[in-house]
Amino acid sequence: MSTTSARILELNLYPQYFDLVAAGRKTREVRVKYPKFDGLAAGDLIRFAVKGTDQSCLTRVTRVAEYSSFEALLDSEGPSQVNPDTTREEQLANIRRIYPPEKERLGCLAIGIELVH
């Protein structure tokens, strides 16, 4: 019988998004499909931090879904899962400020997360 342990990723977030994760209000993290996310699966752990601070929180991955665009991701996942405080249009603009079109073409990930207490 083989045993596998949960993978632990360390990811930075902007303070406004970190606050939503730490409060349990943001249940989907949006990322571009970089190679470091290959094999990310339910049960893995992500420690989110605000760069340059001691703020961090641990989350468990509940699911991972891939989309061809951020628009398709928001339409399928629901904007309130990604950021309950802004509209779909605001979120799309904010995401695209972080990830330009050449990054979006790599594929878009919706990572379901829940806080680990």
* pLDDT < 50 regions, the chain: 2
pTM greater than 0.95 = no
- Topology of domain 8-115 in CATH is 2.30.130
Ordered by start, the domain boundaries in the chain are 8-115
The pLDDT value given to residue 96: 96
Q: Strand order in 56-67's β-sheet?
A: 8-12, 45-49, 56-67, 108-115, 28-32
